[in-house]
């Protein structure tokens, strides 16, 4: 330990943690950190990577295959954790799945703000405040329309 490092007791020993999207990237790093701190971790992900399999051998980590883009995925993951451990103390929602609105998939063709694809701002029929933000952001970026 270097002089700059100050150990912090997180009191996670035997806490039950659920990590969504924990098979790679940030979710995997969080899973490792929780395991290192003594938490019992249930990871929900579509696939188990070799890195996650290694963590399962090193720490108290369980893998539950689940598609969290499916509406029932989160329910089955929570139920798995509760059935396995009786409770959930920590939830790390790191899932990368989304259901983008169809208007977000279309591209603008007009830099003047009247593209008709995602509105010009503010709510209106079939629009949300996010539509205006998307429009403004899209038209600010190079190659945005």
Q: What is the pLDDT of residues 40-88, one digit of tens each?
A: 999 999 999 999 999 999 999 999 999 988 878 989 999 999 999 999 9
Residue 113: predicted pLDDT: 47
DSSP helix/strand/coil, 16: strand
**Domains in the chain, number:** 2
Q: What angle do CA 47, 48, 50 make, to 5 degrees?
A: 135
114 & 87 share domain: no
pTM over 0.85: no
Main-chain dihedrals φ then ψ at residue 20, nearest 5 degrees = -90, 145
Residue 91: predicted pLDDT: 94
72 & 38 share domain: yes
Evaluate whether residue 10 is within a structural domain: no
* Structural domain span for residue 111: 102-140
26 & 50 share domain: yes
Residue 8: predicted pLDDT: 74
Tell me the pLDDT band of 98, cut-offs 50, 70 and 90. low
pLDDT at 143 over 80: no
DSSP 66: -
E-strand spans in 58-129? Answer: 61-65, 90-93
120 & 81 share domain: no
Residue 95: predicted pLDDT: 85
50 & 27 share domain: yes
Evaluate whether residue 11 is within a structural domain: no
Q: How many CB atoms lie within 10 A of CB 138?
A: 18
Q: How far apart are CA 51 and CA 32, in angstroms?
A: 10
pLDDT at 122 over 60: no
């Amino acid at each position: 330990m270097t002089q700059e490092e100050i150990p912090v007791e997180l009191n996670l020993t035997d806490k039950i943690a659920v990590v969504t999207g924990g098979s790679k990237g940030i979710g995997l790093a969080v899973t490792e950190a929780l395991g290192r701190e003594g938490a019992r971790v249930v990871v929900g992900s579509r696939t188990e990577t070799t890195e996650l399999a290694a963590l399962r051998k090193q720490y108290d980590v369980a893998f539950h295959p689940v598609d969290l883009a499916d509406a029932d995925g989160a329910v089955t993951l929570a139920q798995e954790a509760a059935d396995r451990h009786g409770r959930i103390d920590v939830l790390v929602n790191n899932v990368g799945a989304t259901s983008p609105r169809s208007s977000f998939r279309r591209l603008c063709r007009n830099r003047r703000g009247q593209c008709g694809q995602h509105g010009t701002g503010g709510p209106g029929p079939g629009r949300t405040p996010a539509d205006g933000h998307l429009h403004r952001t899209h038209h600010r970026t190079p190659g945005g329309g």
